[in-house]
Amino acid sequence: MGKALLGGELLMSRKILIVEDSCDLREMLGTVLAARGWNPILAESGRKALDELERETPGIILMDMRMPDMNGFELAMILKKHRVYRSIPILAATAFPDHIARQRCLAAGCDDFISKPFSFAALQTSLTNLVSGERPKTIAATVLL
């Protein structure tokens, strides 16, 4: 993967797959992240994410965990078993409020977790850490600004 310097931050890959079933949130995330130097690929479901992955390989995946047709837990497990996709870091984004759901995200293969609602500063930090090789396997504490 090529390296790029963006706003003083070293990024391994600026291509990000955003998997979110809420059209408004998906579009907003794509717009905000594009303005911050990312190249978003948008998918509204787990199945659409698999279709997008056949066309392009992102440097990171930001994924909602509660979606119709294929939830994020199922998709994460599929990706982590696939020889090409297993090395792509996954940031789980969900409004699940309990600790057990957060642990399920990590157990399914997600590399980090961010709670909805989240600030874009916290999202940027989590994404940058993951693409630079930091895989904390901890729950990211975030607040809405």
Q: Do the bridges between strand 15-19 and strand 39-43 make them parallel or antiparallel, or are there none, so unpaired?
A: parallel
Look at residue 145 and tell me if it is in a domain. Answer: no
> What are the tens digits of pLDDT across the range 67-80?
988 999 999 999 99
- CATH code at position 125: 3.40.50.2300
Least Cα distance to 16 among 8, 47, 24, 1 occurs for: 1
- How many domains, in total, are found in the chain? 1
Look at residue 63 and tell me if it is in a domain. Answer: yes
Q: pTM surpassing 0.85? A: no
Asked whether residue 39 carries a pLDDT value surpassing 80, the answer given is: yes
Look at residue 76 and tell me if it is in a domain. Answer: yes
Looking at residue 69, its pLDDT comes to 86
> What are the tens digits of pLDDT across the range 84-127?
999 999 999 988 767 887 888 999 999 998 988 899 999 999 99
